[in-house]
Amino acid sequence: MKTRDTRCLSPDAQEDLRFRVVRAIRAGLKKSVAARTFGVSRTALDRWLNIVELGNITSLRSKPRGRPKGTRLAPYEAATTVRLITDRCPDQLKLPFALWTRAAVQLLLAERFGLEVSVWTVGRYLAKWGLTPQKPLRRAYERDPVAVQRWLDEEYPAIERQAQAEKAEIHWGDQMGLRSDHQTGTSYGRRGRTPVIPGTGQRFRCNMLATITNRGELSFMVFKENFNGGVFLKFATRLLRLRRRKVLLILDRHPGHRSAEVQRWLARHADRLEVFFLPGYSPDLNPDEFLTQDVKSNALGRQRPATRSQLIEGVRSCLRSTQRQPAIVKSYFHAESVRYAAG
């Protein structure tokens, strides 16, 4: 039969037992008899007596159990930590980390506030502050925040006003290269054994150029040659054949969009097509980036084309399917960074 000891009792019952044992010994009961009578060990009994000698019998009262409530960080320290995590990278604070991990925050708390806590405690702090692990976006050092703000506050609203005055359409364009060895997604397999997906060892590629509007319209061209001004003009000529109204086309600053050949052609067709350029190193401002990533992930990354023809046909099939679903094209404007263009 398993023996039950005082650890099975409630905190209140344990406190009452300690008082009764000490009072019994003070009344003259021998320690050995008290240990047998009350079912406690001599070690525990001696410890209780020592506690009473160093203080008084009230020192035997039960103390709160479990993890202390609250936090060891002062409110201003917590607010400072959250601001540093959201506004800076660890290496900007001279910490030996590139990303914010629990270990990085642990070191930040130690160096900034002299607070030594475990990574598990750091995890609880982060959850309490509403911070979750996320895949970060890359942003170029060369990006000019002043130019970005000017685009949002002045330049794009002016394009919208021009489109309204001229009854023109605003199109967002982007080009992308696709390679046969690109792969995305996951596949189930046994734990510890990475699944192997067979595919061709040959590398081949194609390119695509597409424009979208916030009304759900999509125009595209898939081609084999490298992208340059001549390819852009070929696409622009096709685009104008399909559009009855003037097109205001917003592009990135790729050299193919700004070549002398393109500028001369645009000057001759200024009544039909006008081109505007996004701030440099700001792909997140272009909703067409979401289309290209969608194609790259679904038409290429989850497929295994064996030839260039299969690659091109898969990309075209995906784009045609998206073209027939305006709701999908409109959804590319729902991301926070491009919501300004959804109106």
Give percent above pLDDT 70 in the chain.
97
pLDDT at residue 1, rounded to an integer? 42
pLDDT at residue 304, rounded to an integer? 80
Identify whether residues 166 and 32 lie together within a single domain: no
pLDDT at residue 21, rounded to an integer? 84
With a cut of 60, say whether residue 4 has pLDDT above it. Answer: no
pLDDT at residue 41, rounded to an integer? 83
- The span from the CA of 56 to the CA of 191, in Å, is 59
Identify whether residues 166 and 82 lie together within a single domain: no
- Give 91-141 pLDDT, tens digit per residue: 999 999 999 999 999 999 999 999 999 999 999 999 999 999 998 878 887
Give the residue-averaged pLDDT of 293-311.
Answer: 85
- Give 61-74 pLDDT, tens digit per residue: 877 776 666 678 89
* pLDDT mean across residues, the chain: 90
pLDDT at residue 68, rounded to an integer? 66
Give the residue-averaged pLDDT of 237-261.
Answer: 95
Residue 195 within a domain: no
Identify whether residues 208 and 269 lie together within a single domain: yes
With a cut of 50, say whether residue 339 has pLDDT above it. Answer: yes
Identify whether residues 295 and 162 lie together within a single domain: yes
With a cut of 80, say whether residue 199 has pLDDT above it. Answer: no
Q: What is the CATH number of the domain that holds 235?
A: 3.30.420.10
Identify whether residues 312 and 335 lie together within a single domain: yes
Identify whether residues 263 and 118 lie together within a single domain: no
Identify whether residues 97 and 163 lie together within a single domain: no
Q: Are 29 and 23 in contact (CB under 8 A)?
A: no
pLDDT at residue 70, rounded to an integer? 67
Identify whether residues 24 and 122 lie together within a single domain: no
Identify whether residues 174 and 309 lie together within a single domain: yes
How many domains, in total, are found in the chain? Answer: 3
pLDDT at residue 5, rounded to an integer? 66
- The span from the CA of 297 to the CA of 291, in Å, is 10
Identify whether residues 173 and 292 lie together within a single domain: yes
- Domain range spanning residue 88? 75-128
Identify whether residues 177 and 109 lie together within a single domain: no
